[in-house]
Amino acid sequence: MAENNPNSAEELRDAFGKALLEVGTENPKLVFLDADLHTSTKATWFKQTYPDRFIQVGIAEQNLFGIAAGLASEGFIPVPSTFAAFAARRGLDQIAISICFANLNVKIPGSYCGVPTSRAGASHNCIEDLAVMRALPNMKVADPGSNADLRATLRAAVATPGPVYFRVTRYAVPELFDEETHEFEWGRGVLLREGGDVTLFGTGIMTQFCLEAADLLAAEGIMAEVVHLASIKPIDRDLIVESVGKTGCAVTAENASIHGGFGDAVSEVVAEECPAPLRRIGVRDKFVESGGIDELFALHGMTPTDIAEAARAVVAAKARREVVTV
Amino acid sequence: MKPLTPDELRHLEEKAYQIRRLSLEMITYSQWGHIGGAFSMAELLSYLYFREMKLDPANPKLDTRDRLILSKAHGSPALYAVLALRGFYPEEKIYEYCEIDGLEGHTHVATPGVEASGGPLGMGLSVAVGMALGLRKKEAPRSRVYCILGDGECQEGNVWEAAMSAAHYHLDNLIAIVDYNKAMAKGFVWELMRIEPIADKWRAFGWNVLEIDGHDFPEIAQALHTARWVKANGAPTVIIAHTVKGKGIERAEFNYKWHTHAPDPATADSMLREVARTYGYAEQGYSFRNTPVQKDIFYGGE
């Protein structure tokens, strides 16, 4: 983990800033709305290049999302940007009714999500955005897992009509994909590593942790399959069923609360289509208070070691179940 | 501006009467809705839709149209009524109020002529600011954005975030109207949460402020004319329209107990006859006077 996050590496938010400029250049209708955070969300490059398409609304998130709705109904593609916490909490009513109910073409990047943010603490470390946004009708939700994935997600979000929420994590991970050819598709997961003993479903930066967990497990002879699901809603039901059908047990990992978010989205499919032992890795009904990033991942049981431990548990449960069935 | 001729005035009054009549018909038929806040806006909507706003009912999305957002979205019956009267859809559609695939309880963009989905109070002015900004960016300066807010709604913080941003962006293509009918759902504004001095608040936020009797057509005409042509000085304009909640039905006037209630068919019948008498039209009762109420939930009034 730590070695994968050197200070020199480019964080997902930097990739967002670059992708925003690129996609904004291709789409003259894209307008960026800021609530006094653009240097943190890395929209600065877009602002410098397209000052006429950069709208500052001040520290007023309810107004941020309302204005976005109005601009969308005039044919623009607004990108109202703030920290995930202020979108999922402060602006939720406006996102639900002004944007989602009206099914408007608004793309919401939620930054400073989950555990790795700054040392700002529980007020800013947003762990409920995936659950909250997933519950909104018409809303699509994504948590991209690498810089190329984020770029592809933004591109797909702008190309898809209707409201989209996607995460922009303040964290650096090794690139999972070919930057030139990678494409993001709604409701489509990616099989990153094949294995027959257990499936590790990751979203966002946690997919990288799943890959590291798979290495740990391989050393013990447990062959883990790793599936990256950046598109959380819609989710790739077919790939989940296919993989769990093969491995017979699963672990989910998300940089968010385990309640209502990604783990639950996968669990719903597994419970409905292919019941199997499953464990969820994520924040367990706690606020993520201030601390160092690696310390916090350890404190909340979200390290590759924790994922490997959960994998052993479901593999064991599967074995017990097989004995009982026989 | 030229004063309204007697014929023009009669035409607008007749439309206001029809807005009240259709609002009460749909609220009674669906057994749900807000009479008080619909009736207080009847003259404002009549003037806006039949004289002030540039609209094409055959082409509700025409780019050069004027936009209106009903931020107090529970006043939907009056908006649905005026849209029917203006020809956006047939009058019979009002009986689909609150029915599946019909007219949504609170305003929703699925209905032709409705510009924003709403319901939770305080949101509409932000959407109007976004539209006014968007029109500015599209260089369509001749289109206006109107936004009708409730008085109690001005207790919402979101309203003032929006007000601040409208003045900051010099949106003189935006006109807000506060339907100041003095009553909320559970009491009077001054009892539950004082909003006065409301005109000073808007002024302090950088708006032009006009204050009128919201049931008086010549005053409405003058204020909207001023907002459009005289006060287009780089600041948005708000018209504080003093109105009477439930105007036209004595028992509902200034009576917050008729904020939400739907009358039973017999009561609706007597109310509609009273409204007709009040405004000098031939008595016309409730269309479904003899139809028993079928709904599971019955909201008795008073």
**DSSP letters spanning A90-138:** ITHHIIIIIIIITT---EEEEESBSS-S-S--TTT-B-SHHHHHHTSTT
The rounded distance, in Å, linking the Cα atoms of A186 and A231 is 6
In this predicted structure, the answer to whether residue A322 has a pLDDT above a threshold of 80 is no
Point out the residue among A65, A78, A101 whose CB comes nearest to the CB of B108: A101
pLDDT of residue B176: 98
Amino acid, res. A252:
T
Please state the rounded mean pLDDT for residues B33-38: 94
Structure tokens at B41: 């806006």
Structure tokens at A37: 């955070």
Amino acid, res. B241:
A
Structure tokens at B93: 């559609």
Helix (H) or strand (E) holding B25: helix B6-30
**DSSP strand pairing (A190-193 vs B67-70):** unpaired
The rounded distance, in Å, linking the Cα atoms of A113 and A170 is 8
pLDDT of residue B302: 42
pLDDT of residue A111: 93
Q: To 5 degrees, how large is the angle CA B206–CA B207–CA B212?
A: 150
pLDDT digits (tens, 9 = 90+) for A205-227: 999 999 999 999 999 999 999 99
Residue A77 forms beta bridges with which residues? A30
pLDDT band at residue A321, thresholds of 50, 70 and 90?
confident
Contact: A62, B127; criterion CB under 8 Å: no
Partners of residue A72 in chain B, C-beta under 8 Å: 130
In this predicted structure, the answer to whether residue A2 has a pLDDT above a threshold of 60 is no
A148 Cβ under 8 Å from any chain B Cβ: no
pLDDT digits (tens, 9 = 90+) for B47-83: 999 999 999 999 999 999 999 999 999 999 999 999 9
A75 Cβ under 8 Å from any chain B Cβ: yes
User: Average per-residue pLDDT in chain A?
Assistant: 94
User: Average per-residue pLDDT in chain B?
Assistant: 94
In this predicted structure, the answer to whether residue A3 has a pLDDT above a threshold of 70 is no
In this predicted structure, the answer to whether residue B280 has a pLDDT above a threshold of 60 is yes
pLDDT digits (tens, 9 = 90+) for B206-246: 999 999 999 999 999 999 999 988 766 799 999 999 999 99
In this predicted structure, the answer to whether residue B300 has a pLDDT above a threshold of 70 is no
The rounded distance, in Å, linking the Cα atoms of A54 and B157 is 24
pLDDT of residue B259: 86
pLDDT band at residue B299, thresholds of 50, 70 and 90?
low
pLDDT of residue B169: 97
- Domains, chain A: 2-168 (3.40.50.970), 190-325 (3.40.50.920)
pLDDT of residue B23: 98
Please state the rounded mean pLDDT for residues B126-151: 93
The rounded distance, in Å, linking the Cα atoms of A26 and A17 is 15
Point out the residue among A62, A70, A93 whose CB comes nearest to the CB of B130: A70
Please state the rounded mean pLDDT for residues A17-46: 93
Name the nearest CA neighbour of B40 among B236, B213, B230.
B213
For chain B, helix (H) and strand (E) counts, in that order, are 10, 5
ipTM of the complex: 0.94
Q: Which residue of A has its CA nearest to B119?
A: A97
Partners of residue B115 in chain A, C-beta under 8 Å: 73
Structure tokens at B59: 């082409």
Return the SS3 of B145.
Answer: strand
Residues on chain B bordering chain A, Cβ-to-Cβ distance under 8 angstroms: 108-109, 115-120, 122-135, 137-138, 157-158, 161-162, 164-165, 168
pLDDT band at residue A269, thresholds of 50, 70 and 90?
very high
Taking the domains of chain B in order of start, what are their residue ranges? 6-279
In this predicted structure, the answer to whether residue B195 has a pLDDT above a threshold of 90 is yes
| Contact by Cβ (8 Å): A293, A205 | no
pLDDT of residue B295: 62
Contact: A60, B125; criterion CB under 8 Å: no
Q: Is A221 exposed, middle or buried (0-12, 13-18, 19+ CB in 10 A)?
A: exposed
Q: Regarding predicted confidence, which is higher, B40 or B255? A: B40
The rounded distance, in Å, linking the Cα atoms of A197 and A253 is 17
Q: How many CB pairs under 8 A join A and B?
A: 103
pLDDT of residue B294: 64
Structure tokens at A33: 């709305």
| Contact by Cβ (8 Å): A188, A233 | no
**DSSP strand pairing (A190-193 vs A224-228):** antiparallel
The rounded distance, in Å, linking the Cα atoms of B296 and B28 is 13
For the entire predicted model, the pTM comes to 0.94
The rounded distance, in Å, linking the Cα atoms of A175 and B215 is 65
Name the nearest CA neighbour of B33 among B79, B90, B87, B83.
B79
Thinking of the domain B6-279, which architecture would CATH place it in?
A: 3-Layer(aba) Sandwich (3.40)
The rounded distance, in Å, linking the Cα atoms of B71 and A49 is 35
pLDDT of residue B256: 87
Please state the rounded mean pLDDT for residues B117-138: 96
Contact: A68, B130; criterion CB under 8 Å: yes
pLDDT band at residue A201, thresholds of 50, 70 and 90?
very high
Number of Cβ atoms within 10 Å of the Cβ of A137? 9
**Three-state DSSP string of chain A:** CHHHCCCCCCCHHHHHHHHHHHHHHHCCCEEEEECCCHHHHCCHHHHHHCHHHEEECCCCHHHHHHHHHHHHHCCCEEEEEEEHHHHHHHCHHHHHHHHHHCCCCCEEEEECECCCCCCCCCCCCECCHHHHHHCCCCCEEECCCCHHHHHHHHHHHHHCCCCEEEEECCCCCCCCCCCCCCCCCCCCCEEEECCCCEEEEECCCHHHHHHHHHHHHHCCCCCEEEEECCEEECCCHHHHHHHHHHHCCEEEEEEEECCCCHHHHHHHHHHHHCCCCEEEEEECCCCCCCCCHHHHHHHCCCCHHHHHHHHHHHHHHHHHHHHHHC
Hey, of A29, A54, A74, which one would you mutate to test binding to chain B, going by the most B CBs within 10 A of its CB?
Answer: A74
pLDDT digits (tens, 9 = 90+) for B150-188: 999 999 999 999 999 999 999 999 999 999 999 999 999
pLDDT band at residue B257, thresholds of 50, 70 and 90?
confident
The rounded distance, in Å, linking the Cα atoms of A74 and B109 is 13
pLDDT band at residue B21, thresholds of 50, 70 and 90?
very high
